[in-house]
Amino acid sequence: MTILVDKKKKLFTLQTKNTTYQMKVGKFDHLYHIYYGKRIDHQDLSYLMYNGPSHYVPYPHEAKNRVGSLTLLSQEYPTVGTGDLGSVALDLENYDGTRVVDLKYKNIEVINGKYSLEKLPTFYANNGEAQTLKITLVDDLTGIEVELFYGVFGNNDVITRAARMSNLGKKPIKIHKMQSMSLDLIFGQYDLVHFHGRWGAERNYERLPLSHNVTSFGSNYGVSSSKENPGFLLVGKNTNETDGYCYGFNLVYSGNFRATAEQGALGQSRVTLGLGDDQFSWKLEPGELFESPEAVMSFSGYGMTNLSHNFHDVIRNNLCRSKYEKARRPVLVNNWEATEFDFTGKKLLQIAKAAKGIGADLFVMDDGWFGNRYDDNRALGDWFVNEKKLGCSLNELVKKINAMGLDFGMWFEPEMISEDSELYRHHPDWALNFPQRKALLDRNQLVLDLSREEVRDYLFERISAVLDSANVSYIKWDMNRPITDWYSKNLTKGRQGELQHRYILGLYELFGRVTRKYPDVLIEGCSAGGARFDLGMLSYEPQIWTSDNTDPINRLGIQYGTSFFYPVSAMGSHISDSPNQQNGRVTPFSTRAAVAMCGTFGYELDITKFSDEQKEQAKKYTKLYKKVQDMTCNGDYYRLASPFDRSNDLVAWQVVSKDKSESFLTVVVTNVVANASFVYVQLRGLEASDNYEVNGEIYSGAALMNAGLKLGRFKGDYPSQQIYIKEV
Ligand code: DGJ
């Protein structure tokens, strides 16, 4: 039983394999949060709650003994105007201008299976994997009802959350903020781990002490962004990869978001996560519903690696409906860094031929195949094949590539429009733009108003027409600029604050249509590299281009940060040229291959220029990737040495198959020093009592994990080593 309801005590307990989450309805019918942490059976934990007096903080009028301030008590879903003076989850304006919603417990329902949301993607459950708890709260005066949903994935130690508001009153209200979740922890000292960045340097790991200041971060970019990722952790002061308690939170959403973390006056900790609230507002008419995106959380009492495994498993098994989530991903060759816009059909065929020669499965034609798109200043929106440039129809090109034994994929950037395009000349009003002002540009492009149905219809029709014209088995869905000019000609003055969210709802609606019509097409997400690497996107596309920065040494940090929430199977990672296109660094082929193998593998350079030696290397690494691919994509991932730990001269990670029968270790030396000691690595995740073969030698799992493996002494620039480990 994963959900326990004690109706008499009004005590609600969610049990997963290793964790317990408890809530209780209090004296004045508010819903309190009691506990989230290591599993505890058969215990009402409400004795933990603060029951001292309220010193100069407000308390409910009924609390005659001055006990019961919502600022001091841990809340399940704190709301505005109730005397909770921390960051609230819900802020709304009633018809009469009052800014208050006082939610009291109404009823509870346990539902077999996992809830879903009407217009937003959510995790799903396979047979019997999850249960749902729905708690309904109501403000009797206004008729505002909020349903809190909890999806309990017992075996994964994962709980999903969402909130749905109904306006059952007689007047419209305006929502200013509605978070998907809030979590109060009664006591404890924590660090906040978040993942910040920029183009070419996404998801940097940063660990800060949680303080009494509110730490607020999020995205105002219109995409989840490379500036901050929605996934973040609260970890105990001494927590590391293998020990200590930690919480992870993430959001199934691809647009603006807001996360807050703070300590209360008495040392309680609070985090909230949900829709971005800058410029956001939503008018809710009587009888209407508003649903928050889904949040997902997990607790580990055994360090951060374990926490990552919980997320990796639930993402791989319960998020993306694409058949490719489970299927082997193709090794691909993409022409972008090889040619950019300067290609012909003939050149593409040459690259495809070389791709076949190195054992790849898929050739991808990137940007530049449509309209008048000879550079990045024009033609976005004109999704008509440029047959003149290709020298043939798309179908003819694809047939030739298929005849080589390769699948074919292609690039789209559906959400964009260039001023210099036929689409813009016909529909200038389809672009987001403030009236009477010139729109902000980025890469000389504007953003289409995806909140409009006719815009989505056009895109669906165009994408379908192209896909129906040839045997296309993969799409790279790019999105290359932040959204800034938040004004839709389709919305009235009072509703412009809804646009950021309506854009994302429109995007998901379009993705839903495309994925339903083309279930056999693999979609890889991309957003100026990895600026939209989130669970919303991963609901439709099982893999995302991790970064435009393909330098393997920079990628160590990017892929390390990404790995806290997202599995290897989600990370697009390719071998590119040396010197690297973005930072000019020279690295060995072997290291570029080793790093690219920690993702969905491919090539991003002009492979027609490979020397014979490089061809042989490419063949060798493609073959090796295919050998370890099932393990890396579906196994357990271990971070052994961090690129953010400046005392390390190396970065190491390891993947272990679920049955622990094989493992794959990668070490990259980032700073080679003279007269160095040998490199020692303690492995993880093996079966202690089993024997494993490593480079022809036999070791026990216990020896490899406790004593460690002795590697060589490394020389040269950025050397690396990959080691395949097999149980014997
Ligand atoms: C940005 C992407 O991140 C690149 O990989 C490439 O597809 C370009 N866009 C094409 O314009």
Alpha helices in 203-320 (DSSP H): 303-318
Reduced to 3 states (helix: H, G, I; strand: E, B; else coil), residue 697 is strand
Assigned token pair, 580: 């690297």
C-alpha–C-alpha distance, residues 553 and 718, integer Å: 8
Question: For 656-663, which contacts have Cβ atoms below 8 Å and span 24 or more sequence positions?
Answer: 656/631, 656/684, 656/685, 656/686, 657/630, 657/631, 658/634, 660/685, 660/686, 660/687, 660/690, 660/701, 660/727, 661/726, 661/727, 662/631, 662/724, 662/725, 662/726, 662/727, 663/631, 663/692, 663/724, 663/725
Of the residues 298, 318, 338, which one is the last residue of a structural domain?
318
- The four Cα atoms 687, 690, 693, 698 give a dihedral, to 10 degrees, of 130
Please give the mean pLDDT across all residues of the chain. 97
Instruction: Provide the pLDDT for residue 692.
Output: 98
Q: How far is the CA of 597 from the centre of ligand 1 (A)?
A: 20
Of the residues 318, 343, 376, which one is the last residue of a structural domain?
318
Per-residue pLDDT of 365-382, as tens digits, reads 999 999 999 999 999 999
| Within-domain flag for 370 | no
In ligand 1, which atom is closest to the CA atom of 411? 7
| Within-domain flag for 28 | yes
Instruction: Provide the pLDDT for residue 35.
Output: 98
| Within-domain flag for 487 | no
Backbone φ and ψ for 6, nearest 5 degrees, come out as -100, 100
| Within-domain flag for 510 | no
Identify the band that residue 664 occupies on the pLDDT scale cut at 50, 70 and 90. Answer: very high
- Whether the CB-CB separation of 603 and 346 falls below 8 Å is answered with no
| Within-domain flag for 98 | yes
Residue among 478, 485, 534, 551 flagged as catalytic: 478
Between 415 and 67, name the one with better pLDDT.
415
Backbone φ and ψ for 11, nearest 5 degrees, come out as -115, 125
Q: How far is the CA of 528 from the centre of ligand 1 (A)?
A: 6
Instruction: Provide the pLDDT for residue 1.
Output: 62
Residue among 548, 551, 577, 636 flagged as catalytic: 548
Q: Whose CA is nearest to atom 6 of ligand 1?
A: 336
Is 478 annotated in the active site? yes
Q: What is the mean pLDDT of residues 451-456?
A: 98
pLDDT at 129 over 80: yes
pLDDT at 445 over 90: yes
Is 44 annotated in the active site? no
Instruction: Name the percent of the chain lying above pLDDT 90.
Output: 97
pLDDT at 537 over 70: yes
Query: Is this model's pTM higher than 0.75 or not?
Result: yes
Total structural domains within the chain: 2
| Within-domain flag for 164 | yes
Give the domain extent around 156.
3-187+283-318
Q: Whose CA is nearest to atom 9 of ligand 1?
A: 528
Q: What is the mean pLDDT of residues 134-153?
A: 98
Task: Extract the annotated binding site.
Answer: 199, 366-367, 443, 476-480, 526, 548
Per-residue pLDDT of 237-292, as tens digits, reads 999 999 999 999 999 999 999 999 999 988 999 999 999 999 999 999 999 999 99
Q: What is the mean pLDDT of residues 683-697?
A: 98
In ligand 1, which atom is closest to the CA atom of 548? 3
Instruction: Provide the pLDDT for residue 158.
Output: 98
CATH number at residue 123: 2.70.98.60
CATH number at residue 717: 2.60.40.1180
Question: How many CB atoms within 10 Å of residue 421?
Answer: 23
Q: How far is the CA of 546 from the centre of ligand 1 (A)?
A: 11
For Cα atoms 560, 333, 569, give the angle at the middle one, nearest 5 degrees: 35
**Rounded alpha-carbon distances, angstroms, from residue 118 to 91, 294, 508:** 22, 11, 11
| Within-domain flag for 669 | yes
Of the residues 318, 335, 367, which one is the last residue of a structural domain?
318
| Within-domain flag for 306 | yes
